[in-house]
């Protein structure tokens, strides 16, 4: 059972496959061409990367041609990568060819697995061996990930879902109602010029995350399998889509909330946004399909959005067209900024200097903050030691100023007050 995924990069075709109940991902490298021009070099580079990130490499050779220098080069490349390998000899249509197939043993890739792709001969046996070897290698059957990533995934599945620490790859969930353009947006981000795409198993069962290398560092998009597949039916009933979205939300450090500009902020969008805000994650809002708006209706749509999502406070709002690419290049930087602020630790000295000027500009009525410390990050949490109670309006003022002074963007902040002295 094979289902075609939209190629996430131009030169690689990926297929989700299932054999005897085992799922794995097949990556077609588009051929390996040594040397030659710039395009060859690019294809070769993609192939090399695919080999390195794979759990098992299948080197396919043609029995009717015999061993070519390319075969030898590929064999060398794969052996050097350290990736487990299987030698597949194709076009073995009869007994005579079967004898000839043994010549390829000299490539040093083990015994030949003989198939005739044309007649389907041996392909069932081949799949049996592939599934068996993958199972032995990983103890599970999701491909495209290193042993280390599997170990991490296992830890994530057995314990609480682990959130990224300050130096781990930040996790982003793309959340929004059906048809707002989440898949289109994700594919746009994955297709951007500089992005390099890796698949990693997600924290929940059968989820696949995607790590993108962006100009601001790596970003991990949570549970992207459905987005890559892009087929409506695969998402299943809406209830399950919702459960998945909530799981993705819990696994994320920051949420990309996608709104459809042509529909504006609906009641359902508001409820989603509230649920996300309650999770404590910073939010970056994307208002998608922007190119469909008539120029004179844009200001109204933005004002309406600010109104209905007022409780999101400082969340940035990016105007984007996932279809044309307009504005999409700003997304990685906005996500990064939000995540950075979320993990931010402000040194006590700096914090107290800022508080002195905050109080100088606007003293608290009948109270004074003597000093403060940041007790925790994710999100940044501050304890203010004050002489007397601080009114809520004053706390909101302090929060706003801290947010501005330390450029904390959409990150939720927590303030606690301790009285004394
Ligand atoms: P999802 O359900 O949120 O993943 O939405 P899809 O990515 O499947 O998009 C739903 C529909 O909106 C598709 O027909 C897309 O082609 C279309 N779409 C997505 N982004 C844009 C956009 O920026 N502009 C326009 N005009 N259409 C878009």
> Dihedral, CA atoms, 343, 349, 354, 358, nearest 10 degrees?
120
The per-residue pLDDT for 139 is 47
In the predicted structure, residue 13 carries a pLDDT above the cut 70: no
CA 179 – ligand 1 centroid, Å: 6
Share of the chain above pLDDT 90, in %: 25
Give the per-residue pLDDT at 337.
87
The residue whose CA has the least distance to atom 19 of ligand 1 is 181
The mean per-residue pLDDT over the stretch 391-412 comes to 88
What would the pLDDT profile of 253-300 be if each residue is shown by its tens digit? 889 999 999 999 998 888 888 888 877 788 999 999 999 999 999 999
Looking at residue 5, its pLDDT comes to 42
pLDDT of 225 over the 70 cut? no
Tell me which residue has its CA closest to atom 18 in ligand 1.
181
pLDDT band at residue 363 under the 50/70/90 scheme: very high
Question: Which of 179, 230, 256 is the best mutation target for the ligand 1 pocket, counting ligand atoms within 8 Å of the beta carbon and taking the most?
Answer: 179
Q: What is the mean pLDDT of the segment spanning 198-207?
A: 62
The most confident of the ranges 1-10, 157-166, 280-289 is 280-289
Binding site membership of 410 for ligand 1 (Cβ less than 6 Å):
no
Alpha-carbon distances, residue 389 vs 354, 366, 392 (angstroms): 20, 8, 9
Instruction: Decide whether any atom of ligand 1 lies within 6 Å of the 292 Cβ.
Output: yes
Q: Could you tell me if the CB of 321 is within 6 A of ligand 1? A: yes
Please tell me the distance from the alpha carbon of residue 223 to that of residue 204, in angstroms, as a whole number.
Answer: 8
- pLDDT in the model for residue 8: 36
Whether residue 147 is predicted with pLDDT greater than 60 in this model: the reply is no
Atom number in ligand 1 closest to CA 288: 23
User: How high is the pLDDT of residue 264?
Assistant: 92
Distance of alpha carbon 261 from the chain centroid: 24
Residue 41 predicted with pLDDT over 60: yes
Please indicate whether residue 183, judged by its CB atom, sits closer than 6 Å to ligand 1. Answer: yes
Tell me what pLDDT residue 378 has. Answer: 79
Confidence of residue 325 (pLDDT cuts 50, 70, 90): very high
pLDDT at 9 (0 to 100): 36
Asked whether residue 347 carries a pLDDT value surpassing 60, the answer given is yes
Whether residue 288 has its Cβ less than 6 Å from ligand 1:
yes
Q: What is the DSSP string of 223-238?
A: S-HHHHH--TGGG-SH
pLDDT exceeds 60 at position 205: no
Please report which confidence band the pLDDT of residue 235 belongs to, taking 50, 70 and 90 as the band edges: very low
Task: Find which of 31-35, 192-196, 274-278 is predicted with most confidence, using mean pLDDT.
Answer: 274-278
Q: How far is Cα of residue 27 from the mean position of the Cα atoms in its chain?
A: 18
| pLDDT for res 159 | 28
At 178 the pLDDT is 85
Phi, psi (degrees; rounded to nearest 5) at 87: -95, 120
- What's the CA-to-centroid distance between 176 and ligand 1, angstroms? 12
Give the model's pLDDT for residue 369: 92
Asked if 64 contacts 91 with a C-beta cutoff of 8 angstroms, the reply is yes
Q: How remote is the CA of residue 323 from the centroid of ligand 1, in Å?
A: 7
- Band (211; pLDDT cuts 50, 70, 90): confident
pLDDT tens string 379-400: 888 989 889 999 989 998 999 9
- pLDDT tier, 165 (very low <50, low <70, confident <90, very high otherwise): very low
The per-type count for the chain, helices as H runs and strands as E runs, is 13, 16
Q: Tell me the average pLDDT of the chain.
A: 78
Of 167 and 309, which is predicted with more confidence? 309
Which residues, 6 or more positions from 269, have their beta carbon under 8 angstroms from its beta carbon? 176, 177, 257, 259, 308, 309
What confidence tens digit (pLDDT) does each residue in 72-109 have? 888 888 888 888 899 999 988 887 888 888 888 888 88
Is 180 touching ligand 1 by the criterion CB < 6 Å? Answer: yes
Lowest mean pLDDT among 250-264, 326-340, 403-417: 403-417
List, as own/partner pairs, every contact residues 13-16 make where C-beta atoms lie below 8 angstroms and the sequence separation is at least 24, other chains included. 14/228, 16/225, 16/229
pLDDT confidence of residue 142: 34
Per-residue pLDDT, 155: 38
Give yes or no for residue 223 having a pLDDT over 90: no
């Amino acid at each position: 059972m094979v289902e075609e995924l939209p190629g996430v990069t131009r030169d690689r075709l990926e297929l989700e496959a299932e054999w005897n109940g085992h799922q794995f991902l097949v990556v077609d490298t588009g051929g390996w061409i040594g040397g030659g021009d710039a395009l060859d070099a690019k294809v070769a580079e993609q192939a090399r990367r695919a080999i390195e990130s794979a759990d098992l490499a299948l080197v396919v050779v043609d029995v009717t041609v015999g061993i070519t220098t390319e075969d030898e080069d590929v064999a060398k490349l794969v052996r050097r990568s350290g990736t487990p390998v299987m030698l597949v000899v194709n076009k073995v249509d009869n007994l005579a060819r079967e004898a000839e197939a043994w010549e390829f043993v000299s490539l040093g890739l083990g015994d030949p697995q003989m198939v005739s792709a044309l007649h389907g001969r041996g392909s069932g046996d081949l799949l049996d061996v592939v599934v068996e070897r993958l199972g032995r290698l990983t103890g599970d059957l999701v491909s495209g990930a290193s042993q280390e990533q599997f170990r991490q995934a296992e830890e994530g599945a057995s314990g609480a879902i682990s959130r990224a620490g300050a130096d781990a790859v930040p996790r982003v969930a793309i959340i929004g109602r059906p048809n707002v353009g989440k898949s289109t947006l994700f594919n746009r981000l994955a297709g951007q010029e500089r992005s390099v795409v890796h698949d990693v198993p997600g924290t929940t069962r059968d989820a696949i995350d995607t790590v993108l290398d962006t100009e601001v560092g790596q970003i991990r998009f949570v549970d992207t399998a459905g987005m890559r597949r892009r087929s409506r039916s695969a998402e299943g009933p809406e209830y399950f889509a919702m459960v998945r979205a909530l799981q993705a939300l819990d696994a994320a450090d920051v949420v990309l909330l996608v709104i459809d500009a042509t529909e504006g902020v609906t009641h359902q969008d508001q409820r989603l946004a509230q649920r996300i805000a309650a999770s404590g994650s910073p939010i970056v809002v994307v208002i998608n399909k922007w190119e469909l708006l008539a120029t004179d209706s844009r200001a109204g749509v933005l004002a309406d959005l600010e109104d209905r999502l007022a409780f999101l406070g400082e969340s940035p709002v990016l105007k984007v067209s996932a279809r044309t690419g307009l504005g999409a290049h700003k997304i990685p930087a906005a996500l990064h900024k939000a995540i950075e602020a979320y993990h931010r630790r402000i040194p006590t000295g700096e914090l107290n200097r800022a508080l002195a000027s905050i109080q100088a500009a606007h003293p608290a009525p009948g109270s004074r903050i003597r000093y403060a410390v940041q007790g925790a990050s994710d999100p940044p949490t501050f304890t203010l030691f004050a002489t007397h109670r601080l009114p809520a309006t004053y706390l909101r003022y302090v929060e706003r100023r801290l947010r501005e002074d330390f450029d904390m963007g959409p990150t939720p902040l927590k303030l606690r007050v301790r009285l004394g002295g």
